[in-house]
């Protein structure tokens, strides 16, 4: 099966794992996914992740999900920019999610970062996803 939107596939895998209260989930590896997962780990939405090599040249990421008192740390996770409809934002129109309690992940010219870091760095770009 060919997956055209790998980020959306990873987000769906995380969401399904949380609905089933799984401890960890696996997804194919890419640099973009690793950068997004680093942000999710820094913000406390996931415990950790590790990249494993299945075969020579084929890697997967094992994502350890985070739970607090039996409730998942991620309440809502959604993809904003999609292959058929890219969503870009200027710095003054950069959305904050749930009045700053959530995180908007933005792809800028300086790399993948949160909306807060993008405002501090005075950068704008493509809005990849939002997490609360």
Task: Write the pLDDT tens digit of every residue in 64-104.
Answer: 999 999 999 999 999 999 999 999 999 999 988 888 899 99
37: alpha, beta or left? (left if phi > 0; alpha if psi -120 to 50): alpha
Strand 88-89 with 125-131, pairing? antiparallel
Class for the domain spanning 6-131: alpha beta
Cα–Cα nearest to 43, from 94, 108, 117: 117
The contacts of residue 37 (CB under 8 Å, 6+ apart) are 46, 49, 61, 63
User: d(Cα 57, Cα 21) in Å, to the nearest integer?
Assistant: 31
* Residue found by looking up tokens 């039996």 in the block: 70
Domain boundaries, the chain: 6-131
Rounded to two decimals, the pTM is 0.94
Rounded average pLDDT over 127-131: 97
Looking at residue 98, its pLDDT comes to 87
Transcribe 98-114 into DSSP letters.
Answer: GGGTSEEEEEETTEEEE
User: d(Cα 68, Cα 13) in Å, to the nearest integer?
Assistant: 20
Outline where the chain has alpha helix (H). Answer: 6-19, 31-42, 115-121
Looking at residue 90, its pLDDT comes to 95
- pLDDT mean across residues, the chain: 95
């Amino acid at each position: 099966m060919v997956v055209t939107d790998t980020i959306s596939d990873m987000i769906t895998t995380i969401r399904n794992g949380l609905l089933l209260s799984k401890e960890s989930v696996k997804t194919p590896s890419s640099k973009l996914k690793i950068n997004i997962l680093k942000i999710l780990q820094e913000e406390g939405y996931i415990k950790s992740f590790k990249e494993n090599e299945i075969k020579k040249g084929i890697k997967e990421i094992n994502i350890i999900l985070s739970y607090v008192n039996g409730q998942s740390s991620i309440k809502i996770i959604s993809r904003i920019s999609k292959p058929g409809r890219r969503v870009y934002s200027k710095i003054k129109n950069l959305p904050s999610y749930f009045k700053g309690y959530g995180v908007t992940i933005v792809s800028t010219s300086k790399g993948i970062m949160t909306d807060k870091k993008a405002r501090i760095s005075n950068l704008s770009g493509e809005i990849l996803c939002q997490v609360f």
